[in-house]
Amino acid sequence: MNPLKRLGCRRATVLGLLAATVLVTPGTATGAPDAVQASTLGAQAAQSGRYFGTAVAAGRLGDGTYTTILDREFNSVTPENEMKWDATEPSRGSFNFGAADQIVNRAQARGQRLRGHTLVWHSQLPGWVSSIRDANTLRGVMNNHITTVMNRYKGRIHSWDVVNEAFADGPSGQLRSSVFRDVLGNGFIEQAFRTARSADPAAKLCYNDYNIENWSEAKTQGVYRMVRDFKARGVPIDCVGLQAHFGTGGPPASFQTTLSNFAALGVDVQITELDIAQASPTAYANTVRACMNVARCTGITVWGIRDSDSWRASENPLLFDRNGNKKPAYNAVLTTLGGTPAATRSTATTTSSRGGSAS
């Protein structure tokens, strides 16, 4: 129930002021069912203890429309490409953190949390790594990469995608072929997580993948078995990132089941790269609702801000159009998070402040 309805005008005005305070201090509300409503994604997600983030490209930080939306709406940031191996260690032992530093320093200065993406991935991997054939060499190179990149940002990254997309598509439920699996064997994932835990014990360590949203998929089952095994043997893992790159229909019907089944293993789940072809408001609302219904679904990241920023721009999959205007899917997401879209809110504010000023 809306608390304003139970109160006289004067107290309603006081509550209105409180609501305004909450708007600028995300994270202070209780998340109780009738907590005051916010009008931005990050502030509203914070009311239930969650974050709402976006992928950020360093090359766009000079674009004022982009940064205005970024700082208004989002309280978590994932560098879209700047922390990947080809960007951070293009040749062996020679590290380059320029673009990643730009994103990290900017986010930190604004109190936005950071997701680190990603340490071990078969793609965007420099040729000097993929051509290694000796296991001891590759193990040393992988551990050094993880340790050096994590040390650079130690204590500043909320969650790290330690290993990305290691499982195969299709019916096998097994790891895909990659230099890591082929040279080090299936144990490379465990090795990577153990190394990551020593490098930054405060960071949450995630396994991140796509096409693991449908509970009945073999790939989902393969990742589930790995996480269950890690938890049973004490291999350090704290979260599973479900990328959520969806087609026009949005999430599969079993999405919430998948989230709760992973969560029941004792890990957090995060929606890490959300975009939906044509951005149907219903499809977005269904995705957000699934997360809201699972206590250990701790946050949602969309994979870009405007459609024109997206890796699949021709499908218009994001929450803002190319001019930076909110799309219908934006309001659907905000409402499903428990917030009130701006137009509705200003009406409500006018109504509740008729009783005069608070004293």
82 part of the interface to ligand 9MR, by CB under 6 A: no
Sequence-ordered list of residues with C-beta below 8 angstroms from that of 115, at least 6 positions apart, any chain: 53, 76, 77, 78, 157, 158, 159, 160, 161, 270, 272, 301
Nearer to ligand 9MR, 139 or 219 (CB): 219
273 belongs to the binding site for ligand 9MR (CB under 6 A): yes
Beta carbons of 260 and 267 less than 8 angstroms apart: no
CA-to-CA distance for 350 and 41, rounded, in angstroms? 22
Closer residue to ligand 9MR, CB minimum distance, 48 or 78 = 78
- Provide the 3-class DSSP secondary structure of residue 249: coil
Report strand pairing: 268-276 vs 297-302: parallel
Is 190 part of the annotated catalytic residue set? no
Q: For residue 306, what are the β-bridge partners? A: 320
Instruction: Sketch the per residue contact string, 117 through 136, with ligand 9MR: x for CB under 6 A, - otherwise.
Output: ------xx------------
Alpha helices by DSSP H, listed for the chain, are 9-24, 41-46, 64-73, 85-88, 98-109, 127-130, 135-152, 179-184, 188-199, 218-233, 255-263, 281-292, 328-337, 342-352
In whole angstroms, how close is the CB of 166 to ligand 9MR at the nearest point? 12
270 binds ligand 9MR, rule: CB under 6 A: no
Determine if 81 is a binding residue for ligand 9MR (CB under 6 A).
Answer: yes
Quick note: the x/- pattern for ligand 9MR over 225-244, rule CB under 6 A, is ------------------x-
Single residue of 19, 29, 80, 153 touching ligand 9MR by CB under 6 A: 80
Catalytic residue among 73, 213, 273, 315: 273
What positions carry a catalytic annotation? 273
Q: Interface residues with ligand 9MR (CB under 6 A)?
A: 80-81, 123-124, 164, 210, 243, 273, 311
